[in-house]
Structure 1
Amino acid sequence: MDVLDWLARWYAAQCDGDWEHGFGPRIGTIDNPGWSLKVELAGTDCDGRVLERVTHNYEHETDWWTCWTDDNAFHGAGGPLHLRSLLEAFRDWTKDVA
């Protein structure tokens, strides 16, 4: 399944009439340039899980991405061509729930 379809289904599965009013994925841009991703984890299967920072640096200064958790939220940031990398990292991390 395409990662955007997966994210839409993941979001829909979290919606319970309350959660979606205060939580959910936030996709934005950063000035490096690049993308940011933040997903509040409260009320999800990943609530309270921790991810130590994972960083991928490639050959060009805008060819990078990194993900971590902080304050019960999944965070990601990356260069302008790595939005998909951030979303895939989030998807893969959510599948590791024991």
Structure 2
Amino acid sequence: MEILEWIQNWFQNNCDGDWEHGDAIQITTLDNPGWDVEIDISKTSIANLEIKWVLNENGKQDWYGVKIQNQRFRAAGDASKLTYLLNLFREMIEKIENE
């Protein structure tokens, strides 16, 4: 399943009449240029997971970072990494749910 279809389904499955009224999923741009993804995971199986910021940098135009803190998945990356960042989130959710 394509990542956009998966994230749409994940969003719909997590809507409970309350959660979706907040900032459930935010995708914004960075000025360096790049992407910033923030997802509320408070209603998920990884809600209590904490991961300190991990930066993977191969160059000025090839980097991404990820963390989970305060029940928020946060990831950022260069301008080519939006799909990659969303797939990182998907992999985390699917790995925990399959354990």
Instruction: Give the alignment's TM-score, normalised by structure 2.
Output: 0.88
Task: Structure 2 unaligned segments of length 5 or more: list them.
Answer: none
Contact 1:64 1:78 in 2 (8 A): yes
1:93 to 2:92 alignment: yes
TM-score normalised by length of structure 1: 0.89
**Corresponding position of 1:56:** 56
Q: Structure 1 unaligned runs (5+)?
A: none
Q: Residue 52 of structure 1 aligns to a residue in which SS?
A: strand
Give, as a single letter, the amino acid of the residue that structure 1 aligns with 2:60: E
Percent identity at matched positions?
A: 32
Deviation at 1:42, TM superposition (A): 1.2
The answer to whether the aligner puts 1:35 opposite 2:35 as a matched pair is yes
Counterparts of 1:41 and 1:61, CA distance in 2: 30
Report the count of equivalent residues.
Answer: 97
1:44 equivalent in structure 2: 44
Farther-moved stretch of structure 1 (28-37 vs 42-51): 42-51
CA shift digits 1:40-84 (9 cap, x unpaired) = 1112222111223333222x4121111111221000000000001
* 8 Å CA contact retained: 2:49, 2:69: no
Q: Which runs of 4+ in 1 moved over 6 A?
A: none
Distance of 2:24 and 2:92 partners within structure 1: 16
Higher strand proportion: 2
Q: 1:2-38 deviations in whole A, cap 9, x for unaligned?
A: 1111111110110011111124110001111100000
- What SS is found at the alignment partner of 1:92? helix
